[in-house]
Chains A and B, each alone.
Chain A
Amino acid sequence: MNSERVNLTITVNGKTHHLQIPPHRYLAEVLRYDLGLTGTKVGCNEAECGICTVLVNGVPVDSCIYPAVKADGCLVETIEGLATNGAENGRIFRDRISPRVRTSYYRPEQLKGLHPLQAEFVRHGAVQCGFCIPGLIMTAKALLDANPQPTDHDIKVALKDTYCRCAGYPAIITAIKSAAAIMRGEPPLPVTIPESERPLHVVGTNVIRPEAVAKVTGKAVYTDDIQFPDQLYGRTLRAAYPHARILAIDTSQAEALPGVYAVLTAKDVPGRLHHGLVYQDWPALAKDKVRYIGDPVAIVAAETEEIAAAALDLIQVTYEPLPVVDSPEAALAPGAPLVHEEWETGNLLKHIKVRHGDIEQGFAEADVVVSRTYHTATTEHAFLEPECAIGVPAGYDAAHPRLTIYVGSQIPYADRNQVAACLGVPDSAVRIVSPLVGGGFGGKEDIAAQIHVALLAQRTGRPVKMLYRRDESLRFHPKRHATTIHIRMGAKRDGRITAVQAELYGDGGAYASLSDKVMTRATTHATGPYAIPHAKIDCYATYTNNPPSGAFRGFGVTQSAFAVEQTIDILAYELGIDPLALRRKNALRVGTTTATGQTLRESVGLIQTLDEVARRIAADKTPLNPGGNRVRAWGIACAYKNTGLGGGAPDKSAALVEVYPDGTAEIRTSAAEIGQGLVTVVAQITAEELGLPYDRVRVLLSDTDLTPDGGPTTASRQTYVTGNAARMAAGRMREMLASVVAERLDVPPGSIRFEEGLLRANGRRVAFGEAVQWLIDEGREPRAYYEYVAPVTQPLGTGGDMHFAFSFATQAALVEVDLDTGEVHVLKVIAVNDVGRAINPVGLRGQVEGGVMMGLGNCLTEAFIVEKGVPFTNVLARYKMPGIKQTPEIVSVIVEDPTADGPYGAKGVGEISSIPTTPAICNGIFNACGVRVLTLPVDQDALLRALRNGRLEVTE
């Protein structure tokens, strides 16, 4: 056979295909791009993440590294083949199919015809962002085909390396066991997650995600699932050095390569060169110098990905390498090379200060003072969907009158404005459409390929797709800040904490991204959720030549909580006070004041979370003496986290509700669904307000032409802010309908009740759809819009309310240390979160379990390693995220201490669920073996050395 084309005959889901393919085409590519079966996802091309799993002759394989030619003559099963209710097979995906997130309302009968695995994944809330779900279900199917009664252990072995970064592993295990039961002819396992303490008709009850069925059948559309018939492929030439001057760029050879349509560099950016969510310091294409190894130098559009890659090799860039600034310490050293010559404070991106009380007095009052220095690692979001964007030029067809960017984005409107600025066109000339997002966690807030595909599409007049490979994703996008934190804490003998002083040094990397905000949050939360009379915190966010640091679930609080919560335990040890009692004594409560001067007036559930954890630990039956050379202990930690942007930033969201004579409603907003469940929450709220059954509400998300701005999906804010927008918009619509119906029925509008799709008054009832028709008959638009503006906040340093709400949490981790090897295992985590109000408890459970798993990874294994500006972590195989085998038993308990302005009292949960896990585990390690780990991630080598040498702390 030759290298050009080989014959391939494969039978996929029962249908036989005869294809001619290049021998180096992978099975995943044949399925996705040649056969249009885009349910099979690709995450890594390394056989690491397992999400591309399909069955070949009945056994699960990683289709992303499986040369398709090896499947010649084989039977292939994909996610599309599982459902018996009309799964499409061999459908070629074209632009005719709307890619935006328009959820059809969920109908219970949708579960009929699904494979039991699909149905039970939906029912048990095992589906979050959904990108991993096809691979998980196919892996699980192979397991159930071979083993009809799998134990938890069997499931963990089978799914060992099939990752879910939303990490709903406990729900996944339950779903698989439930499906197995159905397949054995037994009843499914019930969903046992308790509802809200105060459930309403829809809000507070367990409902199913409207988009979950699409996600389990492979029909859910993510950006790379969209193909235009004549699309070009874009690739990016990135920096050859972490810090270098660009002396010359010669693109002539690349331009001459047949099949190349455009080669662009900084000189081709017609508008503003720089982008950035806070400071515009990040060039869309590097001009005079490169500042990190992910800097884009040139972009190419070509007929195929291969030609685009070949063109990159032909671009000649002449560099003058510069010395590399590789840490905050190096950045702040006298005479350090400057990352941004023009920045007024050199490599100091920002000095952030918290001043509260009189720090000298605070330490003078203390009987005991402890101090430690902590280090946290750079960590990586590892969302399983790599960045992808498609630019469609203005006027391409009737559906694309203006420049359109398809991109899985956390902030569609900011993307629109940043693309427009770089192109030098009005915002209105650009449209952003966000398909579903395969995980974000903060890593999809900054611009990735949006501007590049826009430039290339406009230049070539054809749609251009850029899909980052995993290595490119790893080296390009902003990470969680590595920090060094010095902290000093003083307390009276009775345990009353009198003073906290801290210095934080954050590695902001090459560009500002969200460093200012992230490090501000680290600083303001550096006293922990405690009432501390005297505090002095200084944070130095720095520019370096490492990959930029930005938003990552926890937003700086993850780092400061690691330091504060261990210091609290150290203090408790010195004082001889129980750590839980010490926390309780100092805990924030209503009437106390935070270190930024905010007096808390309501919704402070911290003590309830502490007490609940205490009760649960006391009742726990797990033996604490495992035998062998192993030791076990519990550790606890608390946290608080703001909901919303805060710090004086205007925080608003808009939603539009439209109602229809068929008795349904659609709610529209540009707020991202990144797996967290926003779609469900706004659907529930709309249904609640309009008195409609949940299954009569559709959601349309994230199309800047059709949906109003919901603001960024960050800061655990969407349930609160966009939830309120939906609530108010639906409330307006209710008033409109009530006034029309009141007039016709001649009753006061206030007497009309909205219940189960009916409007009732005085013993009469009108169907919701009929009321809508009356509204339309009066010549009124059946639409209501509301822009919700959250309570005003004040900037740091002004002493006012910096945030409009806080969530609180306590977690306990049962930790086992192997004294022979230094290995640490987490057996159980009790996570108690005060979220104000549980809107969808089953979705909330997923957020909590996923948060705990991310915290566990942050603690024990995850580190994005950069050496002199060059990532060692250039493949997923070098980045260890916890998988199903590391998943402990997770007990989630919800405390509902409502906040007045939140929708039904709700506040955020996305981040708080992750923050206390790391210090809880570290406190557990100390309690188990007497060694305190001050550096993340926990290094078993260093831990063992400390144990052997009788040292009490791990500082390396």
Chain B
Amino acid sequence: MYPPKFDYYRASSVAEAVSLLGAHPGAKVLAGGHSLIPAMNLRLADPGVLIDIGRIDELRGISALPGGGFRIGALTTHAMVAGASELPAVLTEAASMIGDPQVRNRGTVGGNVSHADPASDLPTVFMALGATFHITGPGGSRSVAATDFFVDLFTTALQDGEILTAIEVPALPAHTGSGYAKLFNPASRYAMVSAAAVVTVSGNRCEAVSVAVGGLTPKATKAVSVEAALVGKQLDEETVAAAATAVSGDLGDDILGDIHASAEYRRRMAPVFVKRALLKAIERAK
């Protein structure tokens, strides 16, 4: 077994990676390789040139931001995220559900979100957390909100020659909990439906809430109707369940369906998993 032949360059800095990308149009960035290499084995990708950014240490790791919140380097592995108890539970929980230990040890957060697989776990979580994506390219650096970073199926705001360097997640206020719930694809274990929720409570009242769903839509989607139905309400199970059903209004018409689960089934599962994510978040907020 072998992938298509490729030229290989190892970048030692972000600047060098950007420069190599500029010099080799069509080149792909190689991080953990857990999306790219299987695609190349199946001849679904044949980039000709791979720029390995795996040794750029500045891109790896989780650090607390001075003003609160965390910066997660693009090369941080899922295993590192899953084990970082300082991060919001929704993020560690989702990371721990990716693949198996082998995949989590190699797969990177940056690679995962840049691939923008609709069945992936992390885009939904970053959407719910209101994360910011830092990008460096030939024209310098820029920042993009999660809602703008994910554009469509396998499509992000990254332009040719640009590299995702880090993702920042904001600090969560006091009395805030977060949770992730996922309906596993029975074959690939990717998400067929996933939901991420962040809830701030005051007593038993919902002060603030952020919900996103994924897996069933071409890109992770904010569940604004659920948020509207919940904010300011008493957080008993019936209210949460009722609010979760509002997700139907946020899904749009383009629901993914395949041989493993019909679009209709996924649509029906969305409120189930929104509710499960919300209940986890509320439980943790208390």
A-to-B contact residues, CB < 8 Å: 1-3, 6, 22-26, 29, 42, 45-47, 50, 53, 59-62, 64-67, 69-70, 139, 142-143, 157-162, 305-306, 469, 471, 820-821, 860-861, 865, 872, 875, 877-880, 940-941, 944-945
Contact indicator A821/B1 (Cβ below 8 Å): no
- Which of B1, B102, B183 is A139 in contact with, Cβ under 8 Å? B102
In the assembled complex, the CB of A710 is this many whole angstroms from the nearest CB of chain B, namely: 33
Whether the Cβ atoms of A878 and B2 lie closer than 8 Å is no
Complex contact A941–B261 (CB within 8 A): yes
Contact B187–A161 (Cβ < 8 Å)? no
For residue B34, CB closer than 8 A to chain A, the reply is yes
Out of A22, A65, A821, name the residue touching B37 (CB < 8 Å): A65
Closest to A142 in B: B101
Cross-chain pairs A/B with CB under 8 angstroms, 23 sampled: A23-B50, A24-B6, A24-B8, A29-B1, A45-B1, A47-B34, A47-B37, A53-B102, A59-B105, A60-B105, A62-B102, A66-B33, A66-B106, A67-B30, A143-B101, A158-B101, A305-B2, A469-B1, A821-B272, A861-B187, A877-B187, A944-B265, A945-B265
Distance (whole angstroms) from the CB of A612 to the closest CB of chain B: 32
Contact A306 B33 (CB under 8 A): no
Taking A67-B37, A306-B2 as contacts, is the C-beta distance between A3 and B8 under 8 angstroms?
Answer: yes
- Bound Cα distance A26, B41 (Å): 11
Task: State whether A941 and B265 are in contact (beta carbons under 8 Å apart), knowing that A46-B38, A67-B33 are contacts in the complex.
Answer: yes
Cβ < 8 Å to A, chain B residues 76-123: 79, 99-103, 105-106
Q: Could you tell me the distance between the alpha carbons of A305 and B7 in the complex, rounded to whole angstroms? A: 19
Assembly CA distance A875 to B39 (angstroms): 11
B246-286 toward A: CB 8 Å interface, digit per residue (1/0)? 00000000000001011011001100100000000000000
Output the least CB separation between B30 and chain A (Å). Answer: 7
Which A residue sits closest to B276, measured CB to CB?
A820
Residues of chain A within 8 A of B268, CB atoms compared: 944
Question: A161-B100, A305-B2, A872-B259 in contact; A1/B9 too (CB < 8 A)?
Answer: yes
A65, B33: Cβ atoms closer than 8 Å: yes
Other A-B pairs, 4, CB within 8 Å; known A23-B50, A26-B2, A47-B103: A59-B79, A60-B105, A69-B10, A70-B33
User: Given A46-B38, A142-B101, is A62 in contact with B106 using a C-beta cutoff of 8 Å?
Assistant: yes
Given A3-B8, A69-B8, A944-B268 in contact, is the A24-B3 Cβ separation under 8 Å? yes
Contact residue among A3, A6, A26, A67 (Cβ-Cβ distance under 8 Å from B5): A3
Residue of A nearest to B79 (CB): A59
* Closest chain B CB from A546 CB (angstroms): 16
The listed residue (B1, B52, B264) touching A70 by CB distance below 8 A is B52
Q: Any chain A CB within 8 A of the CB of B186?
A: yes
- Contact residue among A25, A60, A159, A865 (Cβ-Cβ distance under 8 Å from B2): A25
Q: In the docked arrangement, what's the CA distance between A875 and B79, Å?
A: 25
Q: Is the CB of B5 within 8 A of A24?
A: yes
Q: Are B100 and A162 interface neighbours, CB within 8 A?
A: yes
For B1, B183, B186, B268, which residue has the most chain A Cβ atoms within 10 angstroms?
B1
Q: Which residues of B contact A47 (CB under 8 A)?
A: 34, 37-38, 99, 102-103
A1, B8: Cβ atoms closer than 8 Å: yes
Q: Is the CB of A61 within 8 A of B100?
A: no
Let me know if B189 is at the binding interface, CB within 8 A. yes
Q: B4 to chain A: which residues have CB within 8 Å?
A: 24
B39-64 CB mask vs A (1 if < 8 Å, else 0) is: 00110000000101010000000000
* CB-based contact A875/B183 at 8 Å: no
9 tightest A-B CB contacts, nearest first = A23-B8, A161-B100, A941-B265, A880-B187, A45-B1, A65-B37, A3-B7, A160-B100, A59-B105
Q: How large is the interface on B (under 10, 10 to 19, 20 to 34, 35 or more residues)?
A: 35 or more
CB <8 Å contact, B265 and A65: no
Query: Is A3 a contact of B6 with CB atoms below 8 Å?
Result: yes
The answer, among A60, A70, A820, for a CB contact under 8 Å with B102, is A60
User: How near does chain B come to A142, taking the closest CB pair, in angstroms?
Assistant: 7
CB distance from A884 to the nearest CB of B (A): 10
Task: Please state if B188 and A821 are interface contacts (CB–CB under 8 Å).
Answer: no
Report whether A821 and B269 are in contact in the complex, using a CB–CB cutoff of 8 Å.
yes
**Distance of B16 from chain A, by nearest CB (Å):** 13
Distance in angstroms between the alpha carbons of A861 and B188 in the assembled complex: 11
B103 (CB) vs chain A CBs: closest residue: A47
Interface residues of B in 99-153 (CB under 8 A from A): 99-103, 105-106
Interface residues in chain B, defined as those with a beta carbon under 8 Å from any beta carbon in chain A: 1-10, 30, 33-34, 37-38, 41-42, 50, 52, 54, 79, 99-103, 105-106, 183, 186-189, 259, 261-262, 264-265, 268-269, 272
Q: How far is the CB of A920 from chain B (nearest CB, A)?
A: 20
| Least CB distance, A854 to chain B, in whole angstroms | 16
Instruction: Kindly state the separation between the CA atoms of A471 and B54 in the bound complex, as whole angstroms.
Output: 29
CA separation between A305 and B100, bound complex, in Å?
30
Is the CB–CB distance between B183 and A821 below 8 Å?
yes
A22-B186 contact given A66-B106, A160-B101, A471-B42, CB 8 Å threshold:
no
**Which has the most chain B C-beta neighbours within 10 Å: A22, A23, A42, A59?**
A23
> A67 to nearest B CB, angstroms?
6
Across the interface, name the chain A residue whose C-beta is closest to B269.
A821
Per the bound structure, the CA–CA distance linking A324 and B262 in Å amounts to 26
Query: Which single residue of chain B is at the shortest CB-CB distance from A471?
Result: B42
Compute how far the CA of A22 lies from the CA of B2 in the bound complex, rounded to whole angstroms. Answer: 11
Bound complex: CA of A60 vs CA of B2, how far in Å? 21
- Distance of B262 from chain A, by nearest CB (Å): 6
Least CB separation from A3: chain B residue: B7
| Complex contacts, A940 vs chain B, CB 8 Å | 186, 261, 265
A23's partner among B7, B34, B101, B102 (CB-CB below 8 A) is: B7
Chain A nearest CB: distance from B184 CB in Å? 9
Which residues of A have CB within 8 Å of B5?
Answer: 3, 22, 24, 306
Do B38 and A820 touch across chains, with their CB atoms under 8 A apart? no
Residues of A within 8 A of B183 (CB): 821
CB-CB < 8 A to B265: which residues of A? 940-941, 944-945
Residues of B near A471 (CB, < 8 A) are 42
Contacting residues, chain B, for A820 (C-beta < 8 A): 272
Flag if B37 contacts A70 (CB, 8 Å). no
Complex: A305 Cα to B2 Cα, angstroms? 9
Determine if B189 and A161 form an interchain contact, defined as CB atoms under 8 angstroms apart. yes
**Partner among B8, B100, B188, B269 whose Cβ is within 8 Å of the Cβ of A878:** B188
Q: How far is the CB of A628 from chain B (nearest CB, A)?
A: 11
B37: chain A residues at CB < 8 Å are: 47, 65, 67
Pair B102/A50 contact, Cβ less than 8 Å: yes
B269 cross-chain contacts in A, Cβ below 8 A = 821
A865 in contact with B7 given A60-B102, A62-B103, A161-B103 (CB within 8 Å): no
Q: Is A2 a contact of B38 with CB atoms below 8 Å?
A: no
- Shortest Cβ gap from B23 to chain A (Å): 14
Given the known interface contacts A1-B9, A944-B268, the answer about A61 and B105 at a Cβ–Cβ threshold of 8 Å is: yes
Closest residue of chain B to A143, judged by CB?
B101
A88 to B33, CA, bound (A): 31
Per the bound structure, the CA–CA distance linking A142 and B101 in Å amounts to 10
A472 to chain B, nearest CB (A): 10
Task: A860 to B52: give the CA distance in the assembly, Å.
Answer: 41
- A45 touching B100, Cβ below 8 Å: no
Are B7 and A50 interface neighbours, CB within 8 A? Answer: no
How distant is the Cα of A424 from the Cα of B10 in the complex, in angstroms? 54
Q: How far is the CB of B98 from chain A (nearest CB, A)?
A: 11
- Contact between chains at A139 and B54 (CB < 8 Å): no
Q: What CA separation (Å) do A877 and B79 show in the bound complex? A: 21
Contacts known (A23-B7, A944-B265); A865 close to B259, Cβ less than 8 A: yes
What residues of chain B lie closer than 8 Å to A159, measured between beta carbons?
A: 100
Residues of B within 8 A of A50 (CB): 100, 102
Which of B105, B187, B189 has the most A CB atoms < 10 Å from its CB?
B187
A149 to B4, CA, bound (A): 43
Most A CB within 10 A of own CB, among B8, B33, B261, B264: B8
**Chain B residues with CB below 8 A from A821, complex form:** 183, 269, 272
Q: In the complex, A877→B185 CA distance in Å?
A: 10
Contacts A22-B5, A821-B272 given: A161-B99 contact, CB under 8 Å?
A: yes
Nearest A residue to B271, CB-CB: A820
Smallest Cβ distance from A393 to chain B, in angstroms?
26
